[in-house]
Amino acid sequence: MADEQTKKRKITKQIHVGDVPIGGGAPVTVQSMTTTKTADVDGTLAQIYALAAAGADIVRCTCNEEEAAEGLARIVPRSPVPIVADIHFQQKMALAALEAGVQGLRLNPGNIRKEAEIKQVASEAKDRGVPIRIGVNAGSLDKDVYKRFGGATPEALVESARIELGYLSDVGFRDVKISVKASNVPTMIDAYRLASETFDNPLHLGVTEAGPPPAGLLKATAGIATLLAEGIGDTIRYSLTADPVEEARAGRQLLEAFGLRERKGLDLIACPSCGRAEIDVIGVAKAAQDALGERNLPLQVAVMGCVVNGPGEAREADLGIAAGRKKGHLFIKGNIVRVVPESEMVPALLDEAERLVAEGIEARLAAADSSAAAEAEADRAALISDRGDANHDAQRIELVRRAASRDN
Ligand code: SF4
């Protein structure tokens, strides 16, 4: 799947933010932004480390005053990921951030509007090999462009980026990525589609001011995922009104779901549960998420409510557990390897997950309890004989309909 996604992606020009490549077929990256005061060096670094652990490849910090720029000078050498300075209104803060050693700048064309100032920043950035993101935002669009297009339309957002790109090109600056964010999802999608047709620069995707989860997560995913599915986008940011760790985690999980990044941590899947469930699937899935999430093992793990359909439906998962007749049936790639009492389901899952990561699938399949498959099959058969086979629903429904339509 990863290869198919890579083939479909639009190949843009590659730039580097520090040692992280963006565009040109490089893996799509995750970005997030700190919410601490940048002058608070320890607090900001703690958040940067948390963001990196959650999946952020690049972190942006505001650089809105001299103390923030001084903070950046201390943060950059200690950060585990490249740092981008977020600049609004004051070009001198961009120059100060460059002096602090940041690996990227984000300029908002809507509020740094003097051509000479933009060119001065670009020249300084060029001398240092620091890339710039032209970060157009529907909410702070250049006033003249807004007037000309009669609003923050997709065409207006792209035009604002095009004007800014022209200023940067004039001084021979080419290390540019572009974003054309809007909080309205259809506007954002159309703006990025147009940007992708217009520029060969890498695109930074985001739905701006998406709001708090879960609605914010849905909005951001609707916009970002639609574009990624079309092969558009080189780096992404979820703009949530939440702990930024949630942004980084969501970004990483979206890319893993698309097969655009290798799985770095746990992917817990669970059946939605139904009347056939032999356990409280929601409760067991939550307990498994808590236990396994702490270890963050790079596995797809399934929690299935019944042994009748569970192991088959989740046969693609690395590891899973299905309930039946007060027991847990542990399976690896659909093969039953162990049967444990229901009360031990979660500890057994955790134990097997750790062994699986340490020893590998083949070794764990070879170490399977030889009687487990037969025991699971017996439990499965007993449940089917008690309640019927869900795989034969269609036949049963036909019989029900015939019975219901009888005259007497
Ligand atoms: Fe229902 Fe079993 Fe499927 Fe879960 S695995 S949805 S309990 S049939």
CB distance 56 to ligand 1 below 6 Å = no
Residue 265 has a pLDDT of 80
Q: At residue 327, does pLDDT exceed 80?
A: yes
Interval 161-213: pLDDT, tens? 999 999 999 999 999 999 999 999 999 999 999 999 999 999 999 999 999 99
CB distance 323 to ligand 1 below 6 Å = no
Residue 91 has a pLDDT of 92
Topology match between the domains 2-257 and 267-393:
no
CB distance 277 to ligand 1 below 6 Å = yes
- Residue 390's pLDDT band, with cuts at 50, 70 and 90, is low
Q: At residue 404, does pLDDT exceed 90?
A: no
Q: At residue 316, does pLDDT exceed 70?
A: yes
Indicate the CATH number for domain 2-257: 3.20.20.20
Pocket test for ligand 1, best of 269, 309, 389, 392 (most atoms within 8 A of CB): 309
Residue 346 has a pLDDT of 94
Helix axes 115-128, 154-170, angle to 10 degrees: 60
The model carries a pTM of 0.83
Residue 408 has a pLDDT of 56
CA atoms of 351 and 372, how far apart (whole Å): 17
Look at 12-26, 74-88, 106-120, 351-365 and tell me which has the smallest mean pLDDT: 106-120
CA atoms of 293 and 316, how far apart (whole Å): 20
User: What is the distance in A from the centroid of ligand 1 to the CA of 275?
Assistant: 8
Which atom of ligand 1 is nearest to 305's Cα? Answer: 7
CA atoms of 390 and 209, how far apart (whole Å): 45
CB distance 310 to ligand 1 below 6 Å = yes
CB distance 272 to ligand 1 below 6 Å = yes
Q: At residue 88, does pLDDT exceed 60?
A: yes
Q: At residue 393, does pLDDT exceed 70?
A: no
- Residue 7's pLDDT band, with cuts at 50, 70 and 90, is low
For atom 3 of ligand 1, the residue with the nearest CA is 309
Average pLDDT, the chain: 92
CB atoms within 10 A of CB 94: 29
What average pLDDT does range 310-324 have in this prediction?
91
Look at 109-113, 130-134, 153-157, 301-305 and tell me which has the smallest mean pLDDT: 109-113
How, if at all, do strands 58-62 and 29-33 pair?
parallel
Residue 297 has a pLDDT of 87
- Residue 400's pLDDT band, with cuts at 50, 70 and 90, is confident
CATH architecture for segment(s) 267-393: 2-Layer Sandwich (3.30)
Residue 300 has a pLDDT of 92
Residue with the bigger pLDDT between 142 and 4: it is 142
- Residue 401's pLDDT band, with cuts at 50, 70 and 90, is confident
Q: At residue 1, does pLDDT exceed 50?
A: no
Interval 107-144: pLDDT, tens? 999 888 899 999 999 999 999 999 999 999 999 999 99
For atom 2 of ligand 1, the residue with the nearest CA is 306
- What residues contact 38, with CB distance under 8 A and at least 6 apart? 44, 61, 62, 63, 64, 67, 68, 69, 71, 72, 75
CB distance 273 to ligand 1 below 6 Å = yes
The percent of residues in the chain predicted with pLDDT above 70, rounded, is: 96
User: What is the distance in A from the centroid of ligand 1 to the CA of 322?
Assistant: 9
Look at 39-48, 214-223, 228-237, 324-333 and tell me which has the smallest mean pLDDT: 324-333
- Assigned token pair, 400: 């029900």
Is residue 123 a contact partner of residue 96, using CB atoms and an 8 Å limit? Answer: no
Look at 26-30, 229-233, 238-242, 325-329 and tell me which has the smallest mean pLDDT: 325-329
Interval 219-278: pLDDT, tens? 999 999 999 999 999 999 999 999 999 999 999 999 999 999 988 788 899 998 888 888
CB distance 271 to ligand 1 below 6 Å = yes
Reference 18, options 78, 68, 95, 81; nearest CA is 81
Reference 44, options 56, 32, 31, 35; nearest CA is 35
CB distance 321 to ligand 1 below 6 Å = no
User: What is the distance in A from the centroid of ligand 1 to the CA of 219?
Assistant: 30
What average pLDDT does range 47-75 have in this prediction?
96
Which atom of ligand 1 is nearest to 271's Cα? Answer: 4
For atom 5 of ligand 1, the residue with the nearest CA is 310
Domain ranges of the chain: 2-257, 267-393
User: What is the distance in A from the centroid of ligand 1 to the CA of 46?
Assistant: 42
Which atom of ligand 1 is nearest to 310's Cα? Answer: 5
- Assigned token pair, 208: 């701006």
